[in-house]
Amino acid sequence: MPGICRPGCALAKQNELKVRAAAAEVLVDVCYRGVSLGNRLSRQLERVAPGERPLLQELCYGVLRWQPALQLLSRRLIKRPLKARDRDIHYLILLGLYQLIHMKIPPHAVVAETVQAVKALDKVWLAAMVNGILRNFQRRRDELLGQLAQQEEGAFAHPGWMIEQIRAAWPEDWQVILTANNQRPPMTLRVNSRLLTRAEYLERLAECHLSARPAPGTSSGVLLARPVAVDRLPGFREGHVAIQDGAAQLAASLLDLRPGQRVLDACAAPGGKTCHILEWQPALGEVVAIDISADRLQQIRENFRRLHLAATLIVGDAARPDDWWDGQPFDRILLDAPCSATGVIRRHPDIKCLRRPGDLVAVAAQQARLLAALWPLLVAGGRLVYATCSILPQENSGQIAAFLHAHPDAEEAPVTASWGHAATCGRQLLPGENAMDGFYYACLRKRPAHSGLAVG
């Protein structure tokens, strides 16, 4: 793989040894301590040399992407379960299996470097066991992979409960969804329409020998043929472009923004949609972005500085407006609600480890609280756009149907679009469609007070 050190010299072996040990530490924290991959990996990347970072990222993302299948495979190969204090060795085994199956590093180098990583972790007594496990897999590779393909968790590399949820929600599409979840996501950009057009930016990319095309279904999106480091993107530091999936770029258009309006972006961090709102309609009266995390709100400030944007930023709980709302109603509200994130697994493979079946009930209850709390903040005749990066109906169309039933002053503004699938309420994009992540959108309009309907 480009940018990855290969075995063959002493320096390369030392670098790869560091990477494998670092990857094992990340995986233990994600899978056993519930730390998100993004947070943990960003800290670990700072501790390794720049030349080691692409391999560290590849190993962590790759093992988490295929972890359900790798775990099943390891159970067939590990005769005696490892102790809790040796979880790092367990993940070194998964790292070795991932490389042997999915990477082009020579098998003898994978085995040798994994064994050396065991020794570097001061667990030399387990080196022979790890060596034997990986060599046993090499001998029985076809047999073991054939057995793995006979089990759904092995064939699709998803937890069993998640497979069942997706199959129940999408009985005609579940296999396509699971397959898409295991693909590497594309890199999609959003051109800052305040500064230049998409056509102009595509010309700049071509001048830099970067292949790209318009992102389907978007007005400002650009789909790169291959991901690149942001410092290779022309005008990135100057705020000409931002990284944002095409599905997330749909929110601004659904808000039907008009000059002078007051807009609330609830649960706003990291701020991609807030920035797009400001780019989409520069003449808005005020944009208020709220998030419960001060650290995550700082990400929005950093994006604002780079993109030359400004808005009112508030640290607060969107479900408790009495703590932060000034009493002035909003013409538009975007609620990008917390969710299971089952539509962005290809981008965040740690979701396979971090999510549990019981999470869905708690998340759905939180979404309902947010909708109920924010609805009174919307002016009569105003619009609320509800969005999730989930593909499960209990968080999406089911949530909106329940809200409409409980709020007679709310009506659906149907989403008519060429993208996605019409749901009972709203519209659903599945992972990979139009090169986009899995997203759900519904538009709600508050009936004017003179409509004659009783509000109860």
Q: Enumerate residues 6+ apart whose C-beta is below 8 A from 225.
A: 210, 211, 212, 213
Neighbours of 112 (CB within 10 A): 17
Give the whole-angstrom CA distance, residue 140 versus residue 147.
11
Dist. CA 432–CA 173, nearest whole Å: 12
- pLDDT tens profile 411-446: 999 999 999 999 999 999 999 999 999 999 999 999
| The pLDDT value given to residue 153 | 97
Residue 450's pLDDT is: 59
Q: Is residue 12 predicted with pLDDT exceeding 50? A: no
pLDDT of residue 6: 41
Q: How far apart are the first and last CA of the chain?
A: 61
Query: Given this model, what pLDDT does residue 49 score?
Result: 81
Q: Region 145-158: what's the mean pLDDT?
A: 97
Report the candidate in 296, 237, 256, 238 with the shortest Cα–Cα distance to residue 272. Answer: 296
pLDDT tens-digit readout, 102-130: 999 999 999 999 999 999 888 999 999 99
Please report which confidence band the pLDDT of residue 48 belongs to, taking 50, 70 and 90 as the band edges: confident
Residues with catalytic function = 389
pLDDT at 267: 93
Q: Which residues does 71 contact at the CB level (< 8 Å), separation at least 6?
A: 94
C-beta neighbour count of 237 within 10 angstroms: 10
Number of helical (H) and strand (E) elements in the chain, helices listed first: 17, 13
Q: Which domains does the chain have, with CATH numbers?
A: 10-156 (1.10.940.10), 188-243 (3.30.70.1170), 250-451 (3.40.50.150)
Residue 24's nearest CA partner among 36, 41, 8, 9 is 41
């318009």: which residue's tokens?
A: 214
CA angle at 300 for the pair 336 and 313, rounded to the nearest 5°: 80
- CA distances to 271, 418, 434, 446 from 290, in Å: 10, 31, 30, 21
Six-digit token string for 200? 């102009």
Across 171-182, average pLDDT:
98
CB 262 within 8 A of CB 328: yes
What pLDDT, on a 0 to 100 scale, did the predictor assign at position 56? 95
**CA 126, CA 398: separation in Å to the nearest integer?**
51
Read off the pLDDT of residues 81-99 as tens digits, 9 standing for 90 and up.
899 999 999 999 999 999 9
**CA–CA dist 444, 403 (Å, integer):** 10
pTM above 0.85, yes or no: yes
